[in-house]
Amino acid sequence: MAETSFLHPDRLFPISSTQRDICRDLYNGVKDFPIISPHGHTDPRWFAGNANFSNPTELFIIPDHYVLRMLYSQGVSMEDLGLKPKDGGDYETDPRKVWKTFARYYYLFAGTPSRIWWDHVLSEVFGIKTPLSETSADAIYDVIDAALASDAFKPRALLDKFNIALIATTEGALDDLSHHRAMVGSGYEDRVITTFRPDDVIDASKPEFAVNLKKLGELTDCNTQDWSGYLDALRIRRQYFREAGRATATDHGHPTAQTADLSAVECQTLLSLCLSGEATEADCELFRAQMLTEMAGMSVEDGMVMQIHPGSYRNHNTKLYERFGADKGADIPTAIHYTEALQPLLAKHGNDPRLKVILFTLDESNYARELATLAGHYPCLKLGPPWWFHDSPNGMMRFRDQVTETAGFYNTAGFNDDTRAFLSIPARHDVARRMDCVYLSQLVCEHKITLDEAKRILVDLTYNLARDAYNLNLPRKSVQGQSAQGQSAQEKSA
């Protein structure tokens, strides 16, 4: 095996040496900053129980929808990737064989962010000196498998190794937060917090909606068939998430960004219809729309930051969904809109200084047209980073290119990794930091901003904007010897 890393220190940096020198200078200022991961899908059980991870395939391949989708697109079956079909059919149970299938097709990821993340994990987390290929697959499997069994690779040790200041998991509204509660007293409880994700008790198109509302009623002692009882139940669960899971934010994964502002009477009628099982898809859409506005209203009351992640057609491949379930790489974006969709919510709460809403998109045609223009006006709105398929070097450049000229940097919310792939978190933040340096170094070279300004903005993009956007109890960072910028007017005056 080779002696040095196969990662180039200048990876992702620009080709021009003038710009690259500035880019490196900027990067060196933030590359070792603590990681803030304010939105994601890691499993709280890991950090509560702190048990070793099982094996490379269980940890890395089976839950990685980017990997599943790419190999499936090239004719590799889910069974060969180790996924157990619900119909009881055969599937590969030898994790090493699955790993070797993955290695054989690793060339497919050329030009994709998965390749960058994987290479980073192999090289920087496991110290592997040879790129992954069919030839090296076995030896690499052994290295990772051994490492995962060691104390140094237990979840909490990795939190420390990765320098993660804070990570937020995401739980459904009915979750008991037992893992978050179990962490109290461990010293990790303030570093691992939850997020309130109430889709299951808001989206009436889900078959289990009525059952979920029954459970919600039982958990909260509220009559969830009654509109005001239902809202009270949600308030109680939000409070529970703040107290038992230190949640500072909610998250909403609706098919669209539609909002509504109906009367209480209309709301009761709609709720009853949804509970009856007779609601059409249009009724469900209207109910979700109303509930986004209600959630914004509760955020005004309780200070929780609202995240909206709209526009994914979930489980598009119906046969695959039936056999293997959700999150297998078959969620596909659709075209959506924000300007008209968000107007009812914004008309009601958009000027309230207590509200923060972070908007995400899978439809980049909204970046310049609707998202930058909305966030560049409404005080409650911030733009989340490029999401999911767009969490990639070119995706990040398109975001900055199309957003910055209208919304600036200070209406954005820093980086989210939004991942369940815990070991890739440093890789993902490293990509984001590098691409911010690429963008800022270009502004410097084009004489749009000075190098000093770039350094200050970079500190904010890397750290302060995420901290501020999510109301996190963490110290702010500043460029040494320079005054901080980037505080919002409210905070400055506070």
Chain position carrying tokens 């770039």: 454
Distance of closest approach, residue 422 Cβ to a second copy, in angstroms = 22
Judged by beta carbon, residue 225 or residue 488, the one nearer a second copy is 488
At 52 the three-state DSSP class reads coil
Distance of closest approach, residue 89 Cβ to a second copy, in angstroms = 14
β-partners of residue 58 are: none
Judged by beta carbon, residue 97 or residue 316, the one nearer a second copy is 316
Distance of closest approach, residue 490 Cβ to a second copy, in angstroms = 5
Judged by beta carbon, residue 63 or residue 379, the one nearer a second copy is 379
Q: How far is CA 119 from CA 8, 96, 132, 243, in A?
A: 11, 19, 8, 39
In whole angstroms, give the CA distance from residue 311 to residue 376: 21
Yes or no: say if 131 and 2 are a contact pair by the CB < 8 Å rule.
no
In whole angstroms, give the CA distance from residue 24 to residue 336: 38
Using a CB cutoff of 8 Å and minimum separation of 24, what contacts does 59-64 make? 59/148, 59/423, 60/121, 60/421, 60/423, 61/98, 61/99, 61/102, 62/98, 63/327, 63/420, 63/421, 64/114, 64/421
Distance of closest approach, residue 314 Cβ to a second copy, in angstroms = 11
Structure token digits, residue 52: 């070793």
In whole angstroms, give the CA distance from residue 469 to residue 492: 14
Sign of CA dihedral 336, 172, 331, 424: positive
In whole angstroms, give the CA distance from residue 412 to residue 375: 8
Judged by beta carbon, residue 51 or residue 335, the one nearer a second copy is 335
Distance of closest approach, residue 339 Cβ to a second copy, in angstroms = 5
Distance of closest approach, residue 203 Cβ to a second copy, in angstroms = 18
Distance of closest approach, residue 261 Cβ to a second copy, in angstroms = 11
Judged by beta carbon, residue 232 or residue 364, the one nearer a second copy is 364
Distance of closest approach, residue 306 Cβ to a second copy, in angstroms = 17
β-partners of residue 382 are: 358
Judged by beta carbon, residue 91 or residue 188, the one nearer a second copy is 91
Judged by beta carbon, residue 278 or residue 493, the one nearer a second copy is 493
Judged by beta carbon, residue 139 or residue 335, the one nearer a second copy is 335
Yes or no: say if 391 and 428 are a contact pair by the CB < 8 Å rule.
yes
In whole angstroms, give the CA distance from residue 136 to residue 96: 12
